[in-house]
Structure 1
């Protein structure tokens, strides 16, 4: 799991550091952001002290109505040795008691000019992306007509060569050889390239090429949601391959089941065009157009009509 520190929030967002500079390297261990409510009344039994604390207009208004001794007590209870930071929104004034408590405890005290709901949303999304389940898959990820297609298969089957042809046809490379995948939602997988090999493509016999340098900035992208898996495998004469497209395979990555298609590889097959068509066909299926099901319906209708004609002829012969 990636490590996130309070300093990362200061670097990522427009946040002002007011006090507690020595605590900016405290670690944030979860994506949830806490808004102290009942704690401000003095009840700290279930205080989530290991979370980032956020004080908005409601919380600060309540604090301002407390007696000076109560404000000091609440401030010192909010600041613990593991609290990663306290963030005040709307550029509101900081209570003097809270400022003093943060200075003494070393808890970073920060302030944002934005509204509370917006700050919570952006920081939560950032932290959830950082703490998302992670894995790495051997393959190539390409953006084809807006569909993130993960191409997998054994080493040497032609994944990188196919990706190169797809890039030449106007599509965009995301990652080659190793694809880092994060599950940012229960059904959302985001793939990206390791920093070391970003924008690079390995072609056997040619070596490493820089796709962005050769084909321009429009030929690459940093990350893409994975929607379809294409597996390349050597042609097996004894294996029965799906010829209608009615069989729906899936591949499970982390906790998400992705639709999968298996393409046999042999000389004469233009894999780049086939994968391109597979991506377009996937888009059509999401729009409710399924050519295989339409064919099956036509075939069933013809069979039924044929049986009706036979029955009619048979009845006529009996008469």
Structure 2
């Protein structure tokens, strides 16, 4: 096990045909990480961790969980900290980098290493309503 962390990311998970898959949403404070996570949770996804995520490598895969102090809670801007349906641990399979800049229509594949494990990296403006569908589509291509 190779620990790293915690990293500045909100992590959510969804059950797929091959088990649970996690998506780490990266970005600075105010970038839209929690907002995108809330919209995914509204579609049946589960919160793993909001704002900070502990990650480690094991068996060539990357795993993620919440630091104990923030487990089970997510910040809702304008409302405060609320409880959310959670998944305590997930194998992370995709990283999403939040940006406010225009996104390339047909980008070259990119990746980012965490604890020596490369994850596909999707750069995304989280503000459009379609952002949740883009994340789901990217996960399906893996």
> How high is the TM-score relative to the length of structure 1?
0.41
Residue matched to 2:136? 276
**Given the alignment, which residue of 129, 144, 147 partners 2:21?**
147
8 Å CA contact 2:3, 2:115 repeated in 1: yes
2:124 aligned with 1:254: no
- Higher strand residue share: 2
8 Å CA contact 1:176, 1:193 repeated in 2: yes
**Given the alignment, which residue of 4, 25, 44 partners 1:170?**
44
* Distance (Å, rounded) in 2 between the aligned partners of 1:281 and 1:142: 17
The gaps in structure 1 that reach 5 residues or longer are 1-128, 213-219, 283-319
Residue matched to 2:73? 200
Q: 1:265 and 1:225, CA in 2 relative to 1: closer, same or farther beyond 3 A?
A: closer
* Distance (Å, rounded) in 2 between the aligned partners of 1:256 and 1:206: 36
Q: CA offset at residue 135 of structure 1?
A: 2.0
8 Å CA contact 1:232, 1:262 repeated in 2: yes
SS at match of 2:133: helix
* Distance (Å, rounded) in 2 between the aligned partners of 1:221 and 1:264: 25
- Higher helix residue share: 1
Residue matched to 1:182? 56
Number of residue equivalences? 138
> How high is the TM-score relative to the length of structure 2?
0.87
The gaps in structure 2 that reach 5 residues or longer are none
**Given the alignment, which residue of 185, 208, 231 partners 2:97?**
231
8 Å CA contact 1:233, 1:263 repeated in 2: yes
8 Å CA contact 2:36, 2:126 repeated in 1: no
Residue matched to 1:221? 87
